[in-house]
Structure 1
Amino acid sequence: MTTARSDEVARMLPRPLRAVVLVLLLVLVLGPVLYVIFASVSPDLSVAAGHFLPSRFEPANYVHIWSTVDLGEGLVNSLIVAGSVAVLCAFVSLLAAYVLVAFAFKGRLLILRGLLALQSVPGTLLLLPVFVLFSSIGSTLGVTVIGTRWALFLTYLTFGLPFSTWVMVTYLRGLPRELDEAARVDGASSWTVLTRIVLPLSWPGLIVSAIFAFLLGWNDVLFASVMTNPETRTAAVTLQVFGATQEGGALPLYGQLMAAALVCAAPVVALYLIFQRYLMSGLTSGGVK
């Protein structure tokens, strides 16, 4: 099948044209990345002058950002919030998806349609309602919600669970039904089937759900800028504030800004590199004899 697909691609695009297309794609993708990398080790004057390659290397930019930008606290806040949301989203979505796939009950189809409908609601429309809701809860209970990590955690969990649940529903539907039926014949309960059979085979789907939820919390600026204070700012907000303070300056700290951007992107890149093998399907192949 792979050979047939290669032959089909070869008929559509001749070899020289394919080489040109691949080179253009690499330039479009790697060009901005290389520019940020080179700018992060360049003097500010070199970046301001528009030089692609650094006139001299300034690796000290990666040292100065920890005091200039106060990036450490932002990274810790982002890791705590995004990491906890990712873990909880993955396992709650697994439980919800298993119920929606394995059992037939009234309202099941409505719930599935609702999960899809929630994806069409722009998050910007919910910013004010969520803020007012958390403020009202804080005033009623006499506790502080706005400005805490809990506010971000609940917000991202609300937005991440519908998509994560739908991802897991789609994944669990692809698992062989014979595995569940064989376990039922052996007297296994629903909990045993979930923990002993479904969970070990669901790691690719769980990783996808967790990564989506993690990126939702890691990259968000809109809700994090409203729900946090200087002590609970995430890395994205810290980076945005640092970039805003450089506007209009005599010589913005371009090198440190690019270095801070790369440091903020590093955890996401590491996440993909570590879990990329789980993103590939096929763990269930051969599960049914």
Structure 2
Amino acid sequence: MIETRGFKILRAVGLTFLTAIVVLPLYVILVTSVKPLEDVRGVFSWLPSRITLQPYMDIWTTVPLAHYFVNSLIVVVTATIFSVVLAVLGAYALSRFPFKGARTFSMMVLSTQMFPGILFLLPLFLIFTQIQRTVGIQLNGSYLGLILTYMTFSLPFAIWMLSGFFASIPKDLEEAAMIDGTGRMGALIRVVLPVARPGIIAVSVYCFITAWGEVLFASVMTNADTRTLAIGLRAYASQTDVYWNQLMAASVVVSLPVLIGFMLVQRHLVTGLSAGAVK
């Protein structure tokens, strides 16, 4: 189809509008983070009259941001590692050992993504409370409870993505390795996982991002000692005042790990998502 000049102009205008919707909020965050607080409280200006990096230094003392940062790393990294390891094993089993009802099981795993997370909030809280009463293991307000919660939501999608990726890998590679004396687990580690690296990276990034910015469950299942970054940002708003410049500066700092990680694995991420989704 030959594109007319009017169509090209309309497409450019539409893309510019969509880009502005994404970029303008980020620009406001960056501009606000380098303004003094008195300038933020005044009339908003697109260009700051004064630029200061003081908010980036104050965010660590106004709120125990470093403590929240460590909490988030503990919870998110642990949940991501366990989700990926279990997803690799589950997806490999689905793709290499077909059984009756395997397709139904895969659809049931994927269907868990249809429901909003708030539906699971109260049941999980009650389950964790009952476990604490009967077994004595404290899950509410602990790292372990939040890790299990994040795995509950990331693991089904990770299994579904990796099963499609493993299914696209020829079985001849594993059979050749096993003929040479390598067992099934050895073939998985030495042959399949290196080939499936883009898919594993894509799933890891998904699990990490999903848990890093999660607010709903973290607000209920954490306390002052285990509070994560997403909840800790609210501490910049007190009953009498809101430190908008520090809040924006902290938002920038919190976004940096995800941004840097995405830039490092962008090529593998696109390849992994495409391969898993197409299959």
1:28 counterpart = 2:18? no
User: CA separation of 1:178/1:50 partners in 2, compared to 1, >3 Å: closer, same or farther?
Assistant: same
1:93 to 60, 79, 87: 87
Amino acid at match of 1:144: Q
Q: Is the 8 A contact 2:31 2:48 kept in 1?
A: yes
Q: Partner of 1:260 in structure 2?
A: 250
Q: Is the 8 A contact 2:80 2:207 kept in 1?
A: yes
Q: CA deviation at 1:160?
A: 1.2
1:127 to 116, 121, 124: 121
Q: Distance in 2 between matches of 1:87 and 1:23?
A: 39
Q: Distance in 2 between matches of 1:223 and 1:200?
A: 34
Give the SS at the match of 1:144: coil
Post-superposition Cα deviations, 1:222-242, rounded to whole Å, max 9, x if no partner, equal 111111111110000001343
Q: Partner of 1:4 in structure 2?
A: none
Amino acid at match of 1:85: A
User: CA separation of 1:187/1:107 partners in 2, compared to 1, >3 Å: closer, same or farther?
Assistant: farther
Pairwise mapping of residues 221-260 of structure 1 onto structure 2 (< 5 A)? 221-243=215-237, 245=238, 249=241, 252-260=242-250
Aligned Cα RMSD in Å?
Answer: 2.2
Amino acid at match of 2:40: V
2:133 to 120, 139, 146: 139
Q: Partner of 2:37 in structure 1?
A: 44
Q: Is the 8 A contact 1:65 1:260 kept in 2?
A: yes
Post-superposition Cα deviations, 1:22-73, rounded to whole Å, max 9, x if no partner, equal 4323322211111110110012232232122212012100000101121111
Report the TM-score, using the length of structure 2 for normalisation: 0.89
Q: Is the 8 A contact 2:174 2:188 kept in 1?
A: no
Pairwise mapping of residues 35-114 of structure 1 onto structure 2 (< 5 A)? 35-48=28-41, 49-114=43-108
Q: Is the 8 A contact 2:146 2:218 kept in 1?
A: yes
Report the TM-score, using the length of structure 1 for normalisation: 0.86
Post-superposition Cα deviations, 1:187-232, rounded to whole Å, max 9, x if no partner, equal 5432122111110011111111111111222111111111111111
Q: Is the 8 A contact 1:152 1:224 kept in 2?
A: yes
Amino acid at match of 2:243: L
Q: How many residues align?
A: 272
Q: Distance in 2 between matches of 1:167 and 1:221?
A: 24
Q: Is the 8 A contact 1:207 1:278 kept in 2?
A: yes
- More displaced 10-residue stretch of structure 1: 39-48 or 171-180: 171-180
Structure 1, unpaired ranges of 5+: 1-7
Q: Is the 8 A contact 1:43 1:54 kept in 2?
A: no
Q: CA deviation at 1:183?
A: 3.5
Q: Partner of 1:176 in structure 2?
A: 170
